[in-house]
Structure 1
């Protein structure tokens, strides 16, 4: 069973910045107990407080994960992966690394296509894709936007070190999603490597797509 600290970190990772009151409600404990928990996490360098002013009343304080807080979530074999990528690039050049990524893309695409087999609607395909990605450690979920489109959200990147060393992985994943969800349009609107807290993809059904 996760500890209160683990539950707080998980909530901030998947839901973004939150107030002490919101976290207390999530945990089902008092604000005072939550505040004490946050102070301990802040002392450990895992969370940070941001104060914003919004109209009349006291300033609003929200809690966010620090870089150390994000690092509590696994980046699969990060150092070894980066070293291997550097070795491939040094031995075979950028073209060799591109071939390696394309091979991984083809293998991943086949696996995802098998998982989505039989899913006849866009919603069903999103549900299965999110489930597979969640199982792979991406903390994936999907949700309607309210205007006929959908968001595919990945709250964590378990290959972040590799993606930072070679952004071909990010290009490859976007290409796979576009193929799997076609004829819907898929656009990445949040990107962890560009400073966002998550990666998010806007999925627009073909019938809702604006004219070109």
Structure 2
């Protein structure tokens, strides 16, 4: 079996566990039409990647058996269009309370994020704060690349925006992110490119004082 077939089989296993719940090796082997040994090989890979886990369950007859299930990491592989719900709720808020209320919502989120991360910036140099911010954004799914310019300034490039669908409609989300960067870094920050405005990335130029 080649690598492409292996990947395809593992995707089928993940889908089976998503739709059918707890399954044993024997049950998966029967549904896939392959040997239990082959199933275990795929399960070992999925377990190593943190996508599945197992628990030992006692049977009415015979020895206990391992039943496999998806981890939270695996759940992220399946489509979840939360932004539709978010946009619907924000639209409803605009109808009920006006555009200003949505802006207040984003401002409140910004202040919460600053409070959450400001301790990680305390006592650090600007260089260290910039790297810390890049780590924070990476952990939040922004796919960050950090550059240092010829004159010693920094550029944070974000190639993914988890809230892009929301930011496309409510630009205040972008201005709040810029404001958060300035507050956490204690430096002058300029956004030079924006995904929500048709750019290939969000780019932030940070001036070294």
Larger RCO of the pair (alpha carbons < 8 Å, separation 6+):
1
Is the alpha carbon distance of 1:189 and 1:76 closer, same or farther for their aligned partners in structure 2, counting shifts above 3 Å?
farther
- CA displacement at 1:76 relative to structure 2: 6.6
Is the alpha carbon distance of 1:75 and 1:170 closer, same or farther for their aligned partners in structure 2, counting shifts above 3 Å?
farther
Separation of aligned partners in 2, 1:189 and 1:152? 10
Separation of aligned partners in 2, 1:159 and 1:193? 9
CA offsets 1:71-116 (integer angstroms, 9 cap, x no match): x9x8872111111111111111112112111111110111121232
Separation of aligned partners in 1, 2:200 and 2:81? 18
TM-score between the two structures when normalised by the length of structure 2: 0.60
Unaligned runs of 5+ in 1: 4-71, 207-212
Which protein has the larger Cα radius of gyration, Structure 1 or Structure 2? Answer: 2
1:136 has 2:140 as partner: yes
Q: Aligned residues, how many?
A: 136
TM-score between the two structures when normalised by the length of structure 1: 0.59
Separation of aligned partners in 1, 2:175 and 2:166? 13
Q: Secondary structure at the match of 2:199?
A: coil
Is the alpha carbon distance of 1:181 and 1:76 closer, same or farther for their aligned partners in structure 2, counting shifts above 3 Å?
farther
Which consecutive aligned stretches of 4+ in structure 1 deviate over 6 angstroms post-superposition? none
